[in-house]
Amino acid sequence: MNLIASATLDWGIGYGNELLYRVSADMVQFRKMTTGGVVVMGRNTFLSMPNQKPLPNRVNIVLSRDPSFAPDGVTRACGLNELLHLLRGYDHERVFVIGGGAVYGELLPYCNRAYITRFYAKKPADTFLPDLDAADDWRLAKRSVLHEQDGLFYSFDLYERKH
């Protein structure tokens, strides 16, 4: 399983259920990586999607304990055990955890790769990823060249779990 996110220098990922930055190349990268795969998210992340619709050309699995939560085109998993059972039918290399903060924290132990768009900036945030640079069991495996949009610098980083 993979984690995919964008994060600031202090690992901030969101504020008020919104992304901290919207960068077109980040969105293109996200779409390229996840299309044809499985995206796993929490209910608040799903509700933050445009028009509260599932992402096209992907299997959308939403973690929610609310049994009445059943949007069209979404598979609901009511907890970790049910999610892991559902994911047995998919290629784990094509499964991407896409948020939010609690879901990242719960599923990080099951991930072997983390694709991080790293923004070289700080912005007020109320949701954070664990600091993979400080984690003993993760290593930065690859960093892209530095990119820039409207004065915001960022890179595409790949973290891998140490074995």
Q: Could you report the per-residue pLDDT of 54-73, keeping only the tens digit for each?
A: 999 999 999 999 989 999 99
- State residue 149 phi and psi, 5-degree precision: -140, 120
For 105-143, b where at least 16 C-beta lie within 10 A, e where not — what string? eebbebbebbbbbbbeeeeebebbbeebeeeeebeeeee
Structure tokens, 99: 């948020």
Report whether 96 contacts 133 (CB < 8 A): no
- Mean residue pLDDT of the chain comes to 96
Please, which pLDDT band fits residue 163 given cuts at 50, 70 and 90?
A: confident
Q: What is the mean pLDDT of residues 80-89?
A: 96
pLDDT tens digits, 21-47: 999 999 999 999 999 999 999 999 999
Gap between the Cα atoms of 110 and 99, Å rounded = 14
User: What global pTM score does this model have?
Assistant: 0.95
Q: Do residues 43 and 49 touch, judged by C-beta distance below 8 A?
A: no
Please check the confidence at residue 50 and state whether its pLDDT lies above 90. Answer: no
Indicate the class that CATH gives domain 2-161: alpha beta
Token pair listed for 108: 């990080």
Is the predicted pLDDT of residue 134 greater than 90, yes or no? Answer: yes
DSSP string over 47-96: HTSGGG-PPTTSEEEEE-S-TT---TTEEEE-SHHHHHHHHTTS-GGGEE
What was the pLDDT predicted at 157? 98
Q: Which two tokens stand for residue 102?
A: 């609690």
Q: Is 16 helix (H, G, I), strand (E, B) or coil?
A: coil
Percent of the chain at pLDDT exceeding 70 = 100
State how far the Cα of 102 lies from the Cα of 86, in Å rounded to an integer.
Answer: 19
pLDDT band at 11 (very low <50, low <70, confident <90, very high): very high
Cα torsion for 71, 74, 79, 80, to the nearest 10°?
-160
Q: Model confidence over 85-131: pLDDT tens digits?
A: 999 999 999 999 999 999 999 999 999 999 999 999 999 999 999 99
